[in-house]
Each structure stands twice: as structure tokens, then as C-alpha cells.
């Protein structure tokens, strides 16, 4: 949270690793034991993100994260990369279950798209539904759209 607070207060480009470490009560060396650079604070492992970002008590964090990413080219590029990594991992998991390559790839891409659309909706403070419910809605909409394609 220290990094997000500083990115929000000072802007991504103006925030330093030293500043993040100091705000978090760490040394610069300790910071670099966990993250190779300041960008990785936002894009650290998928499992860590799911524990930190997708709980209802930390829901207020989501709009700040989305705004930071939207306002910075480097972070947008990294977000696109993270989406592709997630899609590839999902594709591989489906292939291991015997799903044909094209189907696995398409399902993974749609799953990632549904998740990110649901996350953006979930970040809206007016939204009362859970991320899981929103993701299911997004998947239903995508299924209907693909069916309409014939």
C-alpha cells in the first residue's frame, strides 16, 4: 500500500524506490529482495495479487490501481504483458486437460477479458456485487456474443 499511496500522491514517475521503502518502513535493500523495481510492486505474483486485491475489505484499492495504470504508459505496457502471461497460463492449463489448442487459447483470452472487465466494474464504489458474480456476468455476456457470431 505504501507504493500505491506514493504513486497516487506524487505520481508514478516522481516516486522513488527509496521513498517506497521508507514509507513501508523498509530499507532499500529489503525492497530489492522482494521486487526488482518499483513497477513490480504493482505486478508482483498473481497469487499475492489475488490475496491483496480481490477481498472486499481492500476494494477501495482497485480504483487507485486502475487509475495509476491508465495514467502511465510503462504501467499500461506491463499490464498488457501480465494479461498475456495470465492467458498463456490459462491456455496451458486447458491444454493439459485435453482441450484442443484453438479452443484453449480462445477460452483463456475470453476468461482474461471477462476477469478484467469484472475487475473494472468491481472497482466502482457503487457496485455491490462480488467480483465472482461480476466475472460470471461478463462470461455470460461473452458467451452470448460468441453465439451471436454464429
Is the same domain home to 40 and 110?
A: no
Same structural domain, 76 and 13: no
The pLDDT tens digits for 107-146 are 999 999 999 999 999 999 999 999 999 999 999 999 999 9
Instruction: Specify the number of domains making up the chain.
Output: 2
Q: Contact 95/89 with Cβ under 8 angstroms?
A: no
Please indicate, yes or no, whether residues 40 and 15 belong to a single structural domain of this protein: yes
Residue 72 has pLDDT above 80, yes or no: yes
Q: What is the CATH number of the domain that holds 3?
A: 1.10.10.60
Distance CA 39, CA 110 (A): 26
Residues 6+ away with beta carbon under 8 Å from 146: 110
Q: What is the CATH number of the domain that holds 135?
A: 1.10.357.10
Residues 81-103 pLDDT 10s = 999 999 999 999 999 999 999 99
8 and 29 fall within a common domain: yes
Same domain for 70 and 125, yes or no, is: yes
C-alpha span between 31 and 41 (Å, rounded): 9
Question: Residue 50 — pLDDT band, cuts 50, 70, 90?
Answer: low
Q: What is the residue range of 125's domain? A: 45-150
Q: Kindly state whether residues 39 and 84 are assigned to the same domain.
A: no
Q: How far is CA 114 from CA 54, 110, 111, 121, in A?
A: 15, 6, 5, 11
Residues 53, 37 share a domain: no
Which of 31-45, 55-69, 83-97 has maximum average pLDDT? 83-97
Q: Are residues 2 and 34 located together in one domain of the fold?
A: yes
Residue matched to cell numbers 516522481: 14
64 with 121, same domain: the answer is: yes
pLDDT of 43 reads 76
Confidence of residue 49 (pLDDT cuts 50, 70, 90): low
Distance CA 6, CA 62 (A): 15
Task: Report the mean per-residue pLDDT for the chain.
Answer: 88
Question: Do residue 8 and residue 34 come from a single domain?
Answer: yes
Residue the block writes with cell 458474480: 133
Residue 146, by phi and psi: left (phi above 0), alpha (psi -120 to 50) or beta?
alpha
Least confident range from 21-35, 43-57, 105-119: namely 43-57
Cell 521513498 locates to 19
User: Do 67 and 19 fall within a single domain?
Assistant: no
Q: Same domain for 18 and 49?
A: no
Does the pTM surpass 0.85? The reply is no
Amino acid at each position: 500500500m505504501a507504493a500505491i499511496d506514493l504513486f497516487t500522491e506524487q505520481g508514478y514517475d516522481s516516486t522513488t524506490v527509496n521513498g517506497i521503502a521508507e514509507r513501508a518502513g523498509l530499507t532499500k535493500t529489503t525492497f530489492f529482495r522482494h521486487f526488482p523495481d518499483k513497477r513490480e510492486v504493482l505486478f508482483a505474483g498473481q497469487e499475492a495479487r489475488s490475496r491483496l486485491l480481490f477481498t472486499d475489505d481492500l476494494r477501495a484499492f482497485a480504483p487507485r490501481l486502475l487509475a495509476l495504470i491508465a495514467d502511465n504508459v510503462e504501467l499500461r505496457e506491463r499490464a498488457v504483458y501480465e494479461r498475456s502471461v495470465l492467458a498463456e497460463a490459462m491456455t496451458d492449463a486447458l491444454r493439459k486437460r485435453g482441450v484442443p489448442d484453438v479452443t484453449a487459447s480462445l477460452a483463456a483470452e475470453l476468461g482474461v477479458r471477462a476477469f478484467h472487465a469484472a475487475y473494472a466494474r468491481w472497482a466502482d464504489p457503487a457496485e455491490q456485487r462480488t467480483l465472482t458474480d461480476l466475472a460470471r456476468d461478463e462470461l455470460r455476456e461473452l458467451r452470448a456474443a460468441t453465439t451471436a457470431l454464429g
